[in-house]
Amino acid sequence: MEKVLGIGGVFVRSKDRKALAHWYQLHLGLAIEDAWFGAILPGGDEGHPGVKGGLWSAFDQQTDYFGARENQFMVNFRIANRDAMLQQLRSAGCDVDDKVEDSEYGHFCWVTDPEGNRIELWQPPETRGQS
């Protein structure tokens, strides 16, 4: 059975991305990258040395990336095999987005849980083809 290996990131909608990112930097000590209003979180994965830790990032309030507008957060879970996970989710009748994405950052797909929360599933690039 395919399963989640860890948190890849937590993404939040924001009315003012810069101000929110500054708050997280000032009060929680996140090392915010100005270019994308996000931070790489501490931690890593011994099994995947290229994975340095999860992400936290503020997205614009109007983003469609999280699905429905009432979804204020989206969690990104790290997985080992996107294609096997997609097959497993579809076989179970889950609400899986037809879109997939491959880039230098890895391999992505999305599923919506029964309460309407969009979930991003991420297979880091160095794990492609491994399970």
Structural domain harbouring 111: 6-127
Ranking 16-25, 76-85, 122-131 by mean pLDDT, the lowest is 122-131
Measured in whole angstroms, the distance separating CA 108 from the mean position of its chain's CA atoms is 9
Residue 61 lies in a domain: yes
What percent of the chain has pLDDT above 90?
73
CATH number of the domain encompassing residue 35: 3.10.180.10
Total structural domains within the chain: 1
As a whole number of angstroms, the distance between CA 123 and CA 76 comes to 10
**What are the pLDDT digits (tens) for 37-81?**
999 887 665 555 556 678 999 999 999 999 888 999 999 999 999
Quick check: 73 and 10 in contact, CB under 8 A? yes
Q: What is the pLDDT of residue 21?
A: 95
In the sheet that holds 38-40, the strands lie side by side as: 38-40, 55-60, 6-14, 73-78, 118-123, 106-112, 95-103
Residue 1 lies in a domain: no
